[in-house]
Amino acid sequence: MTESYLQNLFAERIGGRLYGKSQAIYKFEKIKRAKRAALADHPGDEIIDLGVGEPDEMAFPEVVQQLCVEARKPQNRGYADNGDDVLKQAAARYLERVCGVKGINPETEVIHSIGTKAALTILPAALINPGDCVLMTVPGYPVLGTHATYYGGLVHNLPLRDERQFLPDLESVPAAILRKAKLLVLNYPNNPTGASATPEFFAQVVGFARRNRLVVIHDAAYAALVYEGQPLSFLATPGAKDVGLELHSASKSFNMTGWRCGFVVGNELLVKAYGDVKDNTDSGQFLAIQHAAAYCLDHPEITGKIAAKYSRRMDGLVNVLLNAGFKARKPKGSFFLYVPAPKAAVTKNGVRIEFHSAEEVSQWLITQQLISTVPWDDAGAYLRLSVTFAARDPADENRVLQTIADRLALAQFEF
Ligand SMILES: Cc1ncc(COP(=O)(O)O)c(C=O)c1O
C-alpha cells in the first residue's frame, strides 16, 4: 500500500512521521492479550480480575434518581461552561464538613472539572512553558506529565519507595532541576501504592514549594476513600492555599467514573487560570450531572459505605496474600494493595519459574493462575491488586477470595 501524505503530518509529540509504526506493546495491552490467551487455554474458567482501576458497582440509586430529576429541568439543558453555583457551593461545604477545610470561597476558589483526568490535561497549558520542569512521583498516574511534555516541558521523576512510606524524598531533587521546576504533582491516597500522606509531609511540601517557588497540584482522586478517620486534604495544611490546588473527583468516591465530574479547588489565581484554559477547552459538564455530583458531596455517607466495602475486601485479600507468602499490608485508603512481586514460583510438580520483573510475574499469574494484576517496575518490582473485583455480595466476595487462595496455593512463591 502506498503511504498517504497524512503520515507526514503528525506532530512530533505523538511520534511525527513514525506515528502508528511502533511495534511496542504497552502494559495494559499486554494484560489484555494475556487474558485473552488464558481464556482460550482454559475455556469456561473465570479470570479473577484484580487489575481493574475503577469501582465494580454503579452510582447509588438515589444519585441516579437525582440525575433524572435534574435532566428534566429545561434550565439545565445548555452549555454549562465553567458551571453554576450548585457544585461550587456543595464543594466548599464538602471540604469543610468532610475534610475540615474552612473558608473556601465557592465563587472564586472552585471550578468543576470533567473528571480529574481532564483537569490534569488543562493545567499544564496554564503553567508550562518550554523547558519548565514538572516533579512527578513514580510509579504514578502520568497524565499531567504527558501533557507538560506536549508543551515542551520536562518531567523529573521522584521514586516512591517502601522505606519512605511511599512519600517522595523532596530533598533529593538536584539543584539544577529545582531551578527549572515549576510544578510538584502529588496523589494521596496514592495510585498505585495505596499509601497515604501525613499532615507533617504536607507541611513539608508547603515549605518546599515556597522555598523553590513551585505550584503544588494534589490529585485527591482517592482522598475520600479512607478506612478510618477523616480524609486528609492538602488544603488543610497551613499555607497550602498560597501554593496550590487540589483536584477532587466523584469517580471513585461515589462510583461515578463514567459520569465525568470533579472539581478543582484552592488558590484563587490558579483556579482562575484553570478556568480560563478550561473555557477554551470544553463547554462544561452537563449541569444535571454536576447537580447530581453536588448531591453526593452533601451525602458523604455514600463514600462511607463504599469505603467500608473496600476495607472488608482488603482485609480478606491481605489475609489471602499473607498466607501465600506475600508481604501484604493493608493500606489506610484507596482500593489498591501494592505488594512486592515474587522473584520465583515453584509449582506442585517442582518446576521453578524465575521472574525478572513484576511484568513477568503478572503475565504468569494471568496465564497460569487466571489472576489478573497490574505490574509496576518503576521503583522496584511490585504488583497492584485492586479490591474492585467483580463480586455481587459479601458471600460472593468470600468465594472470589477463596478462589484466589486456592489458585495461589498451586505454587510456592520466593521473594
Ligand atoms: C491518580 C488518579 N488520578 C486521576 C484519575 C482520573 O480520575 P477521573 O475519573 O476523575 O478523571 C485516576 C483514575 O484512575 C487516578 O488513578
Position 24 scores a pLDDT of: 87
For the stretch 237-246, pLDDT in tens is 999 999 999 9
Mean pLDDT for the stretch of residues 73-82: 98
**37 pLDDT more than 90:** yes
Q: Is 221 in the pocket of ligand 1 (CB under 6 A)?
A: yes
**2 pLDDT more than 80:** no
Q: What is the DSSP letter of 228?
A: S
Please name the residues in contact with 256: beta carbons below 8 A apart, sequence gap of 6 or more. 59, 63, 250, 293, 296
The protein residue with its alpha carbon nearest to ligand 1, atom 7, reads: 116
Kindly report whether the peptide bond that precedes residue 61 is cis, defined as omega within 30 degrees of 0.
Answer: no
* Ligand 1 center to 252 CA (angstroms): 8
pTM: 0.97
CA atoms of 120 and 411, how far apart (whole Å): 42
Average pLDDT, the chain: 97
pLDDT tier, 25 (very low <50, low <70, confident <90, very high otherwise) = confident
% of the chain exceeding 70 in pLDDT: 100
Q: Is 254 in the pocket of ligand 1 (CB under 6 A)?
A: no
**Sign, CA torsion 66/84/334/377:** positive
Position 339 scores a pLDDT of: 98
Mean pLDDT for the stretch of residues 327-331: 97
Q: Is 53 in the pocket of ligand 1 (CB under 6 A)?
A: yes
Within a 13 Å sphere around the CA of 218, how many CA atoms are in the beta-carbon half? 28
Angle at which helix 116-127 crosses helix 268-279, to 10 degrees, equals 100
Position 307 scores a pLDDT of: 98
Q: How far apart, in Å, are the Cα atoms of 203 and each of 167, 233, 365?
A: 13, 12, 41
CA atoms of 295 and 362, how far apart (whole Å): 40
* Ligand 1 center to 112 CA (angstroms): 15
Position 1 scores a pLDDT of: 61
Indicate the helix (H) or strand (E) that contains 310: helix 301-323
The protein residue with its alpha carbon nearest to ligand 1, atom 6, reads: 117
Q: Is 149 in the pocket of ligand 1 (CB under 6 A)?
A: no
* Ligand 1 center to 415 CA (angstroms): 31
% of the chain exceeding 90 in pLDDT: 97
Q: Is 188 in the pocket of ligand 1 (CB under 6 A)?
A: no
Q: Is 376 in the pocket of ligand 1 (CB under 6 A)?
A: no
Mean pLDDT for the stretch of residues 393-402: 97
* Ligand 1 center to 342 CA (angstroms): 28
CA atoms of 346 and 353, how far apart (whole Å): 6
pLDDT tier, 278 (very low <50, low <70, confident <90, very high otherwise) = very high
Q: Is 116 in the pocket of ligand 1 (CB under 6 A)?
A: yes
Q: Which atom of ligand 1 lies closest to the CA of 262?
A: 10
For the stretch 222-255, pLDDT in tens is 999 999 999 999 999 999 999 999 999 999 999 9
For the stretch 135-192, pLDDT in tens is 999 999 999 999 999 999 999 999 999 999 999 999 999 999 999 999 999 999 999 9
